[in-house]
Homo-oligomer: A and B are copies of this chain.
Amino acid sequence: MKIRRNREFRWTPALLGAAAMLTAPALSWALDGKVDGEPVSEAQFWVDTIWTILAGILVFLMQAGFAMVEAGFTRAKNAVNILMKNLLDFSMASIAFWIVGFGIMFGNGNAFFGTTGFFVAPETGELYESLAWTSVPTLTAWFFQLVFAGTAATIVSGAMAERTKFTSYLAYSFVIVLIFYPMVGHWIWGGGWLGEMGMLDFAGSTVVHSVGGWFALAGAMILGPRIGKYGRDGKVRPIPGHNLPIATLGVFILWFGWFGFNPGSTMAAAPNDISLTAANTNLAAAAGAIAGTITAWVLFGKPEISMALNGALAGLVAITCSCAFVEPWAAVVFFGLLPGAVVVLSVVMFDRIGVDDPVGAISVHGVCGALGTVLLGLFHTEQGLLYGSGAGFLTTQLIGVVAVFAFCMVAGFALFGTIKAVMGLRVTRDEELEGLDLAEHGAAAYPDFQGAIGSSGVGGALGGSSGTGREATYAASMRAETA
């Protein structure tokens, strides 16, 4: 609508109502438009901002990608549950990262966490010195970083799918985005000790993906495998995903969103950085899909779709830290083909050792995130070991990967252990067999097809979800209506 003739937003500090005072301080958004305190040109400020915000919007859609991948790779009887978890973990992440997450991650503070800038205060340069290198307004930076935080949170849901209590899920997901994810982020991106040591992670192979993956590992270990995953003989019994078209759609959406994730991490309209990161991102994903397909083909005798999809994701995760620093051939070979093969072996390995990860999240995000971060120590075109710069940078990368792994495992065991003790982490055996959709949500993902789902599906008891959802049990009336 016709409202702004000026191109700069002016915020009028104002007396707030009583309710407002309880929730947030009076705010006054100032322009940023400065890099390291120096004003940039108007044009740069405009372009940097729309680039960063559009990239963030692309990353947001990854939430849909994760929802489709996780729903598609699990069983129909648990689809509503995983969709709800995906919707609500991002919703809670939005609030948590607004309240304190962003301040802990980017606020000024000590080597371990930020202590300023809660509720996303406007004075970028003063409160968030670690973001002084970008010209975008504080709220744009917050939005872009929020969608990253949401990604880290939602990774966990996949590995713990089909057996985690809904309330417990909400609790730990909130805590991870509120505290643990921002802390690791502060170490590497927010002025903390790993960044000071020289560790590099361009768009978050470690900060985002490994953090998600290692919490997922801790969670899956504490939860234990799904009923039926291992036979009485201890052999692995695959549990196929119920809807591979939406799982594939999800991977394409993730790949799409990754073009915001990686090139957008410039947080500046820098043509050559953007070009290189976009090209490397795509090459690694493509090579990963090819390698995942071939590896599964060799090992299992068939070109397996879930491994092709996970191969693409493995490449995307591995190139995330490296996309601005390595050459395209390296993106293809070491950040694409290699993780695409590794992810298959990793999935098999975790299955063998009894860690049940329904969608392969630990292998994709944890293992390949760590792998990419370490490999950057070899292939960084200025600091990499293979470019003659010595082992110092490689060592730093290794230290970073190990430190993040150790922190997440300890924090994860503490968090999930506490939740398990206090409120329980897993649904009952009956609920798991019946399906979490009916047990936890009184719903079915596909009520018109209930008859089709095998004897232990959601079916039998017809528990459809109402489009407008009132009575919890209406099986009889539904039956009557559709008859």
Contact = CB atoms under 8 A, between A and B. Distances in A.
A310 to B, nearest CB: 8
Contact of A477 (B42, B231, B468): B231
A272 B50 contact: no
Interface in A118-143: 119-120, 130-131, 133, 136-140, 142-143
A304 B88 CA distance: 12
Given A11-B381, A465-B304, A469-B296, A452 B451 contact: yes
Interface stretch (A399-407, A415-423, A438-446): A438-446
A106 to B, nearest CB: 10
Given A20-B329, A79-B244, A469 B304 contact: yes
A330 B312 CA distance: 41
B245 A74 contact: no
B272 A53 contact: no
A248 to B, nearest CB: 4
B15 A388 contact: yes
Contacts of A14: 381-382, 387-388
A286 B470 contact: no
Interface residues of A, number: 203
A57 B467 contact: no
A478 B469 CA distance: 33
A168 interface: no
Contacts of A166: 303
A296 B471 CA distance: 10
B143 A302 contact: no
Contacts of A33: 271
Contact of A265 (B1, B285, B296): B1
A466 interface: yes
B442 A453 contact: no
B24 A308 contact: no
A286 B95 contact: yes
Given A303-B84, A454-B482, A130 B2 contact: yes
A9 B244 CA distance: 40
A195 B1 CA distance: 10
A90 B256 CA distance: 13
Contact of A142 (B279, B330, B359, B455): B279
Interface string A213-237: 0000000000000011001000111
Contact of A246 (B240, B249, B300, B447): B249
Given A49-B274, A271-B45, A272-B8, A283 B98 contact: yes
A94 B189 CA distance: 31
A461 interface: no
B64 A252 contact: yes
Contacts of A31: 271-272
A238 B301 CA distance: 34
Given A95-B290, A275-B53, A64 B245 contact: no
Given A139-B276, A303-B441, 12 more contacts: A1-B195, A2-B133, A9-B270, A41-B42, A46-B47, A53-B275, A76-B449, A91-B285, A240-B466, A300-B471, A305-B469, A306-B465
